[in-house]
Amino acid sequence: MSGVGSTRPWKGPSDRSTWRERATLTRASRADLAGPLGMESGMGLETAQRTGNQSFLDSFGPARPKVLVIGCGGAGGNSVHRLHRMGIHGARTVVVNTDAVHLDSIQADRKLLIGGGVTRGMGAGGRPEIGERCAEISEQELRNQIGDADLTFITVGLGGGTGTGVAPHVAELAQAAGSVVISLATTPFRAERGRMMNARAGIQRLRDRTDSLILLDNNRLLDLVPNLPVEQAFAVMDHLIGEVVKGITESITVPSLINLDFSDVRTILQSGGTSTVFYGENAESDPDRLVRDTLDNPLLEVDYRGANGALIHISAGPGLRLRTAHEVVEGLTAAMHPDANVIFGVRVDRKYNGILRVLVIMTGVRSPLVEAVRESVSIADVVSDGSARRSIENEPPRTNRRR
């Protein structure tokens, strides 16, 4: 492991095999419970009867999965802050950073300053090996935060030091604790140049440690909202990340909203490969245009032909006709694999009167960005980047103060 201030390669956690073994064991033992929530058997509850409106949920202990959203680094923290402000039912929000000023500026259920002795609360200065070191030092605290979550979302802006170094470590701890892990990661602007090296290393590490990696490319903001001030453009991305997390979480934790359950979501998200998000909004009267616009606007440059899974959230005003919803789903999934696992849900809200809005999480897409991440991104590449070599002492803390 690189020491603080060292330019030796960032090799990631030293006890990788131990973690993998533990993760596998934990997963296997959970699988033995023979059900998505460990509810179907082994509990002497093969049959249950209730009268009238009595609920069946009390037969199964904690029937709702425990959901945790953990934002790592400045950008990851910002999207959790936004989510927290939006309000989310049934999930705990946590942010982790090495930057005290940034942590002070955002809101979450729990905020964790890590590596205080290493960074003196001033951030990791764009060096993932320092973020990683801080995560290792604070491992027990991170493990406490993860607890026994069934589903863990990790949000991170790849490219900097803290998020890129910490997120894979958190993912590993969460998997080892038996949680399903979904990472939502942004990749840097092309203009950030050397940060892409960090991001590539981060993609590779996250990919190996999460059940589903949902990637969003900040460069897409240049097409979507080129004229917005930078902070507001970031806010668009953070908002979308918040919507994805909230959409998936509440479709599980608020069962009446969208007819999905944890096992549906898990099956789709675990179906492998890279995932990304498509987003579109249009008049209810023109579903074809909605489909075209949405498919033209992925948040990562991808080829979605043959994609193997999709979660589709449609928001619409009351009175949305089934045929219209069906047309939208059919259009959105036409190029996917014929056996793709597709689930859609409709949320009806008066505020969408006459408007259709879709958010699609598509899995198993092909991304040139991800394919370019070689099996082993040369760690030397990471440290040969000028920004990575910068001395942490010389770099003023980079803060992402809230707008």
Ligand X SMILES: Nc1nc2c(ncn2[C@@H]2O[C@H](COP(=O)(O)OP(=O)(O)OP(=O)(O)O)[C@@H](O)[C@H]2O)c(=O)[nH]1
> Parallel, antiparallel, or unpaired for β 67-72 and 151-157?
parallel
- 111, two tokens: 């905020």
For residue 93, give the nearest of 158, 153, 43 by alpha carbon: 153
If contact means CB under 5 to 8 A according to the sort of partner, which of ligand X, Mg ion, none does residue 115 touch?
Answer: none
**Smallest distance, ligand X to C-beta of residue 99, A:** 6
Strand ranges across the sheet with 341-348: 110-113, 91-97, 67-72, 151-157, 180-187, 212-217, 274-283, 355-365, 309-316, 341-348
If contact means CB under 5 to 8 A according to the sort of partner, which of Mg ion, ligand X, none does residue 150 touch?
Answer: none
Q: Which residues bind ligand X (CB under 6 A)?
A: 73-75, 78, 98-99, 123-126, 157, 159-163, 186, 188-189, 192, 195, 218, 234, 237-238, 398, 400
Q: Which is nearer to ligand X, 23 or 95 (CB)?
A: 95
If contact means CB under 5 to 8 A according to the sort of partner, which of Mg ion, ligand X, none does residue 60 touch?
Answer: none
Q: Which is nearer to Mg ion, 95 or 181 (CB)?
A: 95
Size of the chain in residues: 403
Q: Distance between CA 200 and CA 204 in Å, rounded?
A: 6
- List the one residue from 76, 77, 121, 123 that touches Mg ion (CB under 5 A): 123
Judged by CB under 5 A, the number of residues near Mg ion is 3
- Write each residue from 92 to 121 as x if it is in contact with Mg ion (CB under 5 A), else as -, in one continuous string: -------x----------------------
* Contact criterion met (CB below 8 Å) for 11 and 376: no
The number of helix segments (H) and strand segments (E) in the chain equals 16, 10
- Site of tokens 């490319």: 217
Q: Which is nearer to Mg ion, 167 or 365 (CB)?
A: 167
If contact means CB under 5 to 8 A according to the sort of partner, which of Mg ion, ligand X, none does residue 218 touch?
Answer: ligand X
* Contact criterion met (CB below 8 Å) for 275 and 241: no
- 193, two tokens: 């140049």
Element (H, E) at 112: strand 110-113
For residue 170, give the nearest of 8, 19, 9, 373 by alpha carbon: 19
**Smallest distance, Mg ion to C-beta of residue 75, A:** 8
- Write each residue from 45 to 84 as x if it is in contact with Mg ion (CB under 5 A), else as -, in one continuous string: -----------------------------x----------
If contact means CB under 5 to 8 A according to the sort of partner, which of Mg ion, ligand X, none does residue 155 touch?
Answer: none
Q: Which is nearer to Mg ion, 74 or 331 (CB)?
A: 74
Name the β-bridge partners of 354.
none
**Smallest distance, ligand X to C-beta of residue 365, A:** 20
Q: Which is nearer to Mg ion, 74 or 159 (CB)?
A: 74
Q: Which is nearer to Mg ion, 126 or 298 (CB)?
A: 126
Where on the chain is the footprint of Mg ion (CB under 5 A)? 74, 99, 123
